[in-house]
Chain A
């Protein structure tokens, strides 16, 4: 490699000169290269977003082409504030978000810590554990409904076997008490490996000499864990939480297939509620307003969180 002309010349040529030679056309190339991407995003993300904002002030219904569209001011937004269904869906989303992140962090971190013991074959097992997270959520969700069948479902059977209860005595997807947990279980099954991978990267980024220094200071293993491992992994962990948070706030496919929002509206997450309003009731104006509220919420929360994350990183 180092024998190649390019390398030798590269080492010898001041970078500035090269730039000067091609300076003018570079700018053109830059725009040619970036242009299509920006254009596509403007056309398929930004223009629609602006359109959504516009729609949110109307009473438009996409299934009623012949109906007159009127601007209704902020009425849609006022209606959201007084719509108990919106708030119920936010509560369901909060429950889902909190507990999926809680379990995924807990199990994911533990797994990463165990894998970081570097036992033989840890790479192979890591790859196996990672499998669920790349699978199509809708297909997975659909199949979990089979596992959750009372009586014939594998999940109920295993739980019944372990606890001695009757497998048809509890309904994971059908009962108001269990359904919110059934979706947490599947999401945790799918996404724990994500948190695990990121934690593992964090742990592997800690140089050995820090532990060696701690050992010389006679710090106990437990102390080392809390003063070295945890703080060093924390920025990574927070990043994982950010990703999971945004993803699960948007959650649709997996839960739609599992419970469809039921029983009643127990697991009707924000996205599912939005889908009902927008594509089943076809209240386009009203649902646009909900969409904007959701977007602002996720954007706002994420921005605050990123600030906190940067503070932790700086330490």
Chain B
């Protein structure tokens, strides 16, 4: 009796499997950070599930733990993720350590051309060694660090008058980093509608990448360079140049004079919280959050507007964003590649942008209607023209942690001067590249 039941159940399961998918239905897991665009991707992927018969599962890790946990997973050769939308800086390690599947042959076979994607994103998210036609990911999500502010406060006559009186300028979107500081300082501690508000919510997080992503937002416009000659790792005089020192001092002043109290370890979540609770006039964050911010019932809509990271000596924004890769340890690589093939289609990419994901596909970005499709779309295009990324070396984690420490020591823990911090950073980085055998 028992065996009969079992056999029946087995047969049933077998037939069910054959009916739902003529090929082989797999349960694919996609790993990414837990944030607004991830939810959009879940929505988008329903179409893939319907078309292919594969089932999609998702593992979204909050940003502060994302790198830590997923890199750990990759380094332990884990099979949790079949598909991974990994951060741009991981590409070097992913390629050299064999975590990511090389996609060239697949692209050729399926007729997917990297020329269909914006150059900056292909360079940043897909290639290793940088700029060579060796692809380990498909650009999934373009992103950069930008700014948003309380448009309603900026429009109020009493506030405008007070600002003019104090600075002699009209209150508006800052045209330079220094103007931004001035505006933030103006709002710091001001009473608006009976509530004390503060200047700007910026990144100061120590544990993962927060403070580095924030500070580079100042370093790049001041003309910061990682190397004097690209590819030579000669950092002395570049990383600790007078401009870099000035930019770092600027960021510290911004932190000291224009941020909310207790802002010692803040990253994306804290920035969003501070803005949505009406605590700050300005905030920096990734473009990825802008659709959600715009839709926010209390501080979105008419109350918010966006601007690109202001220039100082030149234009420059910190690059965010990720490419999608197939994890080499997965047992379901074919199904995972199927997902990428589906994802690369222009109409899927258009839907992706419609749901709040920043497509990097030229058919979306070059659409004449794109700049008007959202209040931040034009800014996004502008920002992506001048983006710069952190080291993408296989030793990226060591390089990043060294910078995190030096920056946090100087800015939050008040140790030493900006010059000393950057000098020490050059020492740290030199040592790391020596260990790597690159110096």
Contact = CB atoms under 8 A, between A and B. Distances in A.
A114 to B, nearest CB: 36
Contacts of A63: 71, 74-75, 93, 97, 397
Nearest to B402: A281
Q: Is the interface of A mostly helix, strand, loop or mixed?
A: loop
Interface stretch (B133-141, B236-244, B296-304, B408-416): B408-416
B261 A262 contact: no
A58 to B, nearest CB: 13
A169 B435 CA distance: 44
A261 B262 contact: no
Given A264-B415, A279-B68, A279-B72, A174 B264 contact: yes
Contacts of A264: 206, 405, 408-409, 412-413, 415
A149 B277 CA distance: 15
B170 interface: no
A66 B207 CA distance: 28
A63 B74 CA distance: 8
A62 B75 contact: yes
Nearest to B93: A63
Contact of B262 (A62, A150, A260, A276): A150
Contacts, number: 82
A261 B414 CA distance: 15
Interface in A234-288: 259-266, 276, 279-283
A276 B72 CA distance: 12
Interface in B212-242: none
A71 B412 CA distance: 39
A200 to B, nearest CB: 39
Nearest to A259: B265
A263 B98 contact: no
Contact of A59 (B74, B405, B435): B435
B265 A280 contact: no
Nearest to A268: B405
B74 to A, nearest CB: 8
A260 B206 contact: yes
Contacts of A265: 405, 408-409, 413
Interface in A139-189: 149-151, 168-169, 171, 173-176
Q: Quick one: which of A173, A259, A262 has the most chain B CB within 10 A? A: A262
A6 interface: no
B409 A171 contact: no
A173 B204 CA distance: 13
Nearest to B435: A59
Given A63-B71, A176-B413, A262 B262 contact: no
Taking residues whose C-beta sits less than 8 angstroms from the other chain, chain B's interface range is 20 to 34
A16 interface: no
A266 B98 CA distance: 37
B401 interface: yes
Contacts of B371: none
Contacts of B405: 264-265
Contacts of A168: 261-262
Nearest to A59: B435
Interface in B312-365: none
Q: Quick one: which of B262, B401, B413, B414 has the most chain A CB within 10 A? A: B262
B47 interface: no
B390 to A, nearest CB: 15
B261 A171 contact: yes
A190 B130 CA distance: 51
B207 A149 contact: no
A304 to B, nearest CB: 34
Given A59-B435, A63-B75, A171 B68 contact: no
A281 B75 CA distance: 12
Given A264-B409, A280-B68, A283-B398, A65 B265 contact: no
A65 B97 CA distance: 6
Nearest to A153: B262
Nearest to A168: B261
B78 interface: no
B401 A282 contact: no
A85 to B, nearest CB: 8
Given A63-B71, A259-B265, A264-B408, 14 more contacts: A62-B75, A63-B74, A64-B97, A66-B98, A149-B262, A169-B261, A174-B263, A260-B206, A260-B207, A260-B265, A263-B413, A264-B206, A265-B405, A279-B68
30 contacts: A62-B75, A63-B71, A63-B97, A64-B97, A149-B262, A150-B262, A151-B262, A169-B261, A171-B262, A171-B264, A174-B262, A174-B264, A174-B412, A260-B265, A262-B265, A262-B408, A262-B412, A263-B206, A263-B264, A264-B206, A264-B409, A264-B412, A264-B415, A265-B409, A266-B413, A280-B68, A280-B401, A281-B398, A281-B401, A282-B397
Interface of A: 59, 62-66, 149-151, 168-169, 171, 173-176, 259-266, 276, 279-283
